Structure formats: C-alpha cells, structure tokens
Chain A
Amino acid sequence: MTAPAGIDPRGPRFNAAITAVLTLVATLLGLTGLPAARTASSWAIDAAPLAQRIAEPAFLLIVAIAALFLWGVLSPRTQPWAALFRSLVQPRLTPPAELEDPRPPRFSQGVGLFVVGVGLVLHLLGVPLALPIASAAAFVAAFLNAAFGFCLGCQLYLLLARIGVIRTATP
C-alpha cells in the first residue's frame, strides 16, 4: 500500500482545538453532575438507575464527542470540523509549507474514541468519576495537539508501526 495523499497539517489541529473545548466542557459537566456527586456515605451514581445515568448531561455530550471521533475514523474528509476547516478556515490561510500523512491523525481519532468510549461504558456500569476522568484525558491530548502541535495519538501510531503491529511499508 502506497502512502495516501497528504493533508494540510493545520486541519487536525483545528479539529483538536474544537475537541479540546468540548472535552473541557464535558469535564466540567461531569464534575458538577452525577459522576462526582456524593450522598451521605457513598456515590450518588450507585443508586442511580440506568435511565438517569444516560440522561446525565456529561454523558450525552461525551456520546456526541465519541460520535465525532468515530466519524473522524470512518470518513475523515466529511467529518464536520474537517469540512468546516476546508470551507471557512483554510481559504483564509496561505498554503501549507508541506503536507502531512493522514494516517497518524486518523489513528488519533480512534484513540480518542477508545478513551471516551471506556469512560462511557464505565459510567453506564455505575463507576463514579469515569466520565470526567475520560474527558480530562481526551482534553489533555487534544489541547497538547492544538496548542503545541504535539500529537499523542500520532506518537502511538508510530510506535505501533515500529514494532510491526501496524503495517505501513510499501511492499
């Protein structure tokens, strides 16, 4: 398999910036909501029925965030933030100095999906603080990418490619 066409490296960073804001809000919602709520001697989530766990605002927002990650994995070009970048932001920028291989950023979306997915499942199972911890972890990765250009998921992709779990070489 040959390397796919390069993408503007600022696109994933724009995506990460929006993701950072969303995950930060989700963390705040989680900390002020059911996942962090205490009763006299235990966690409120223990006694909360499934319907209440689902109706929790942090849960709903993180489901939306997870859906966006999934979209980014399955169809990166049509993902809303990517489309927004191409239509609104990119025309206002000078062309990029070089293009980036799209595979590591795409893999990063999958890492984000996994992290918040674990939080969602644990929350439904009644684990307290699962949601804010998961969204905080996703926030740190997204923020580092947006603000410093450091792509944690990309580094993981490269590590897996190095040890041979992911095959990228042209035959």
Chain B
Amino acid sequence: MSLSTALIVVGALVLTAVAAGVLWRTADGRRRGSAGLRVAASDLPGGGLAPRATLVQFSTELCARCPQVRRMLTQIASAHDGVAHVDVDLTDRVDLATRYRVLQTPTTFVADADGRVLARFNGVPRRADVEAALAALPAFEVTR
C-alpha cells in the first residue's frame, strides 16, 4: 500500500475512534425511563426510603467512577429536605443486579417515597439532570 493510501486509512481509523468515543460520551449518564421498576426498601442499607425521594446508587468494589458519583449524590441529597442518598454494593449481590437490571456501575435511580423509580442514570449522571428529576416530584411538606 502506498504511504498516501495508508495515511488515509489511518486517518479514517482515528476519525472512527473519535466518533465512537463521542457517541459513548453522549449516551453515558443520560437520563432514562424506569421500565416500571420499584425499589424495595428491604434491599437498601438502612432498610428504608426517604420521605420525599431516595437517590439509590448501585456500586461495586471495582467501580472507578463510583466515588465521584457518590460525592455528588450525597451533596444533592443534603441540599434537599427529605431526600437521602443510599449506596447499594452489588459486588456479591448478583440477585440485586438482576432484579434492578443493573448492567454497569455506577447506576443511579431516583425513587419516590414508595420506591417507584422515576428516573434512571446508567454511568455518571450530570448534576443538573438529577436535580431536574427531583424537581419533578411534589414539594416536600413536613408533617407534624
């Protein structure tokens, strides 16, 4: 193959790799539907759902991007009344991964007080998207 042809092939290779990377970046962490899933409070550490919303994060031992999501979700939860963040470790719990159809970690659910999943994020979610999902919930009223 001549050098010029080879350079064209290599150029196409690089462009294809860039396109694949951009595609992955766009899809990663995007908000998705919940497929009617419902979180059982008994599956969560602490055993309960928060009164307004629970940010359920699924993590594993080897998950490189989970700590940053954990930090972000903890911050969001502390900034909103009635919202809590829980982290479910799937390392030894294939049953939970199957039940909630978790294919990668981090995966995040925004669940309401009854455990209904309102939004799902596979990968690293954008803070604004999580906040928008919370904003769609009815306002929290402290009952006395």
- Interface residue ranges, B against A (CB under 8 Å): 1-3, 5-7, 9-10, 13-14, 16-18, 20-22, 24-25, 60-62, 64, 67-68, 91-92, 94, 97, 104-105
Of the residues B1, B5, B10, B60, contact of A24 by C-beta under 8 Å: B10
The answer for the CA separation of A101 and B62 in the assembled complex, in Å, is 6
Q: Decide yes or no whether A93 CB sits under 8 A from chain B.
A: no
Instruction: Report the minimal beta-carbon distance from A109 to chain B, rounded to whole angstroms.
Output: 16
Of the residues B7, B62, B94, contact of A157 by C-beta under 8 Å: B62
- Knowing A31-B6, A32-B2 touch, does A24 contact B14 (C-beta < 8 A)? yes
Nearest 4 CB-CB pairs, A to B? A31-B6, A148-B21, A98-B67, A36-B1
Instruction: Report the minimal beta-carbon distance from B73 to chain A, rounded to whole angstroms.
Output: 14
The residue on A at minimum CB distance from B64 is A100
Q: Cβ of B94 and Cβ of A162 under 8 Å apart?
A: yes
Q: Please, how many residues of chain A have a CB less than 8 angstroms from a CB on the other chain?
A: 33
* Total A-B Cβ pairs within 8 A: 76
Q: Cβ of B20 and Cβ of A9 under 8 Å apart?
A: no
Instruction: Report the minimal beta-carbon distance from B12 to chain A, rounded to whole angstroms.
Output: 10
Q: Decide yes or no whether A169 CB sits under 8 A from chain B.
A: yes
Q: Decide yes or no whether A67 CB sits under 8 A from chain B.
A: no
| A residues in contact with B13, CB < 8 Å | 24, 27, 136, 139-140
The residue on B at minimum CB distance from A155 is B104
Q: Decide yes or no whether A144 CB sits under 8 A from chain B.
A: yes
Main secondary structure of the interface of B (DSSP, over half): helix
- Knowing A100-B64, A104-B64, A168-B62 touch, does A28 contact B6 (C-beta < 8 A)? yes
Q: Cβ of A140 and Cβ of B6 under 8 Å apart?
A: no
| B residues in contact with A89, CB < 8 Å | none
Between A and B, 9 residue pairs with Cβ closer than 8 Å are: A31-B6, A32-B2, A139-B17, A143-B17, A144-B21, A144-B24, A158-B104, A161-B62, A169-B91
The answer for the CA separation of A171 and B77 in the assembled complex, in Å, is 33
| B residues in contact with A36, CB < 8 Å | 1, 6
Q: Cβ of B14 and Cβ of A148 under 8 Å apart?
A: no
Q: Cβ of B21 and Cβ of A150 under 8 Å apart?
A: yes
The answer for the CA separation of A155 and B63 in the assembled complex, in Å, is 10
Instruction: Report the minimal beta-carbon distance from A119 to chain B, rounded to whole angstroms.
Output: 15
Q: Decide yes or no whether A97 CB sits under 8 A from chain B.
A: yes
The answer for the CA separation of A151 and B62 in the assembled complex, in Å, is 13
